[in-house]
Amino acid sequence: MTSNPSPHIPGVHAEPSSSARTATGLLAYLLVGLSFGIVLVKSEAASWYRIQEMFRFESFHMFGLIGSAVLTGLVTTAMLRRSGVKSRDGQTIRVTDKEKGWRRYVFGGLTFGVGWGLAGVCPGPIFTLLGAGVWPMLVVLLFALLGTWAYGALQTRLPH
């Protein structure tokens, strides 16, 4: 009798799959990411000038894009909560409520906003701009990764 030291736990471990299925999944993610990047470029969401217009309240363009993204998120979250849809491994997808509190949202929003204002981009378009050949975004990516690492290192000391 052989023992299995690492049992498969649905929702925690990846499903055992063939390499062909894994390659198909990776191709699907690549195509979705590519499509998202094209949408970011064509909608000018990755444009430094459009972002500056937004921060100066000179144009509604970016507010409209962000508002439509928030509305899409609200609708899809409501649909997920009501539909009882299942994940690939058969588990019901649950959207849990957030903890009450305001500090983490204020501090997180301020940190995100300062970084966005200094860099001229939010994290999403960094890779899009790199793909478009805007090489100074490598510096922005480096500091985004550094900030992510710092959060992980300081997470236990921050208000959550």
Query: How much is the pTM?
Result: 0.60
Q: Please check whether residue 31 lies inside any domain of the structure.
A: yes
| 87-117 pLDDT tens trace | 777 888 888 887 788 888 888 889 888 888 8
Q: How confident is residue 142, by pLDDT bands cut at 50, 70 and 90?
A: very high
Q: Please check whether residue 11 lies inside any domain of the structure.
A: no
Cβ-based neighbours of 81, under 8 Å, separated by 6 or more: 95
Cβ-based neighbours of 37, under 8 Å, separated by 6 or more: 127, 128, 131
Average pLDDT over residues 40-47: 85
Q: Please check whether residue 117 lies inside any domain of the structure.
A: yes
- Cβ–Cβ < 8 Å for 157, 107: no
Average pLDDT over residues 79-86: 85
Q: How many domains does the chain have?
A: 1
Q: Would the pLDDT of 124 be above 60?
A: yes
Q: Please check whether residue 74 lies inside any domain of the structure.
A: no
Q: Please check whether residue 84 lies inside any domain of the structure.
A: no
- Cβ–Cβ < 8 Å for 34, 102: no
Q: Please check whether residue 32 lies inside any domain of the structure.
A: yes
Give the pLDDT of residue 14. Answer: 53
Give the pLDDT of residue 141. Answer: 92
Give the pLDDT of residue 1. Answer: 46
Q: How confident is residue 2, by pLDDT bands cut at 50, 70 and 90?
A: very low
Q: Please check whether residue 134 lies inside any domain of the structure.
A: yes
Mean of pLDDT over the chain: 81
- Cβ–Cβ < 8 Å for 60, 38: no
Q: Would the pLDDT of 11 be above 70?
A: no
Give the pLDDT of residue 15. Answer: 54
* Backbone CA torsion sign across 28, 132, 69, 123: positive
- Domain hosting 112: range is 20-58+97-157
Q: Please check whether residue 46 lies inside any domain of the structure.
A: yes
User: CB 40: neighbour CB atoms within 10 A?
Assistant: 21
Distance CA 126, CA 123 (A): 6
